Amino acid sequence: MPDVLYVPLLKGRQGEFSALAEIQPLTRQHILPLVELVPAPTDDRSSIKAIVDKSVSKLRTWAGHRLLLDAGYLATEVDLGNQLGAVAYSVMKAHEEGIAATPVARLNDEDQALSDAAAIHRDFGGGVSIRLGTEDLEEDPEDVVDTLQSVMSTLGVRAPDVDLVFDLGTIAGDLAVHAGARFVADLLRNLPTPGDWRQIVVAGGAFPSDLSSVAAWKLGEFPRYDAQLFDRLLQRRRIPRQPTYGDYAVAHPELVLGNAFPAPPQLRYTVADRWLVLKGRRNDPRGHDQFFMVCEHISQHPEFVGEALGKADARIAHAKDHGPGNASTWRQIATTHHLDYLVQRLTSLGEP
């Protein structure tokens, strides 16, 4: 792995899959995506396998690279054949496509999910990722470490085999920044041999759950509290190891299922300390063509990075050379820019 690494936590949807195919070669070298497989409405065996097969096929552009594959939102206890559940099945399908997928486990996983992750490590030797969520991180740091070590024993892994992810979930406001940085620092100090872990990732998300607070054609701005927390952790607290930065890119941490209202043309654009958001109107007679004007406004903003950053910014700068796209396209462009921009900042400035 390169010295500078960034771990984006991405929903397994079309916009995010397309973004992974569109990022710059430099970005590809410096990111370790954690991809969450999004479940189908039903939990039967055929639906789970179909979701995994479809998602992995869309990840083919990641062949030859490693990622963390999280099947934890699926019904992991369902036997998909050969006494394997979704965790093992998804990783094996990814390996068939040449993707070096590492299974993601949680402290409260069902027995099937843990046995799947253990079997994958035993058969492929690629280790595991252990993802601690907000419920885990509400416990006393010493208790968290005790539970973590118990799960590692069940998985048959040691610290050098593990990508440890501290997922702080939603980070909203200055209080969350201060409290989160303090807790992570305490947790790092309680970890045995902190230098031995393959990766220790501190991740969270600050993008809002929806854009209802942003009026059409009024530029909205949202602070990047997730980046603030990470900077505070590194600059103001003595910690035994510098962790790796992770975030939810331009998405809210919670996985929302079900049908949503059609989104108006919009763009979520990451800058140094915040996101710029501009959207059109849902019922405007110009329809998706409003996206051209959205891009024109963003490209004229003083903090527009410039088309040299990558394909997303080039498309924003020359929006009319392409079609207006749809909601997946707009998410793809926003995510691609975010990934390219974060890697540029991390590799040049050392901060997200």
Q: What is the pLDDT of residue 256?
A: 79
* pLDDT higher than 60, residue 1: no
Using CA atoms, how far residue 117 sits from 94, 127, 216, in Å, is: 14, 9, 46
Q: What is the pLDDT of residues 26-58, one digit of tens each?
A: 999 999 999 999 998 888 999 999 999 999 999
Find the mean pLDDT for residues 1-22.
Answer: 93
Find the mean pLDDT for residues 198-204.
Answer: 97
Q: Where are the domains of the chain?
A: 6-32+127-259
Q: What is the pTM of this model?
A: 0.96
Alpha helices in the chain (DSSP H): 14-22, 25-30, 45-58, 86-96, 111-124, 141-155, 174-190, 225-236, 290-299, 311-317, 327-348
Q: What is the pLDDT of residues 101-158, one digit of tens each?
A: 999 999 999 999 999 999 999 999 999 999 999 888 888 888 889 999 999 999 999 9
Find the mean pLDDT for residues 69-91.
Answer: 94
* Percentage of the chain exceeding pLDDT 90: 86
**C-alpha Rg value of the chain to the nearest Å:** 20
- Rounded to 5°, the CA angle 80-81-84 comes to 70
Lowest mean pLDDT segment, chosen from 20-34, 66-80, 185-199, 215-229: 185-199
* pLDDT higher than 90, residue 91: yes
Q: pLDDT averaged over the chain?
A: 94
**What's the CA gap between 250 and 311, in Å, rounded?**
17
Q: How many C-beta atoms surround the C-beta of residue 44 within 10 A?
A: 11
- Rounded to 5°, the CA angle 293-324-286 comes to 60
Q: What is the pLDDT of residue 195?
A: 92
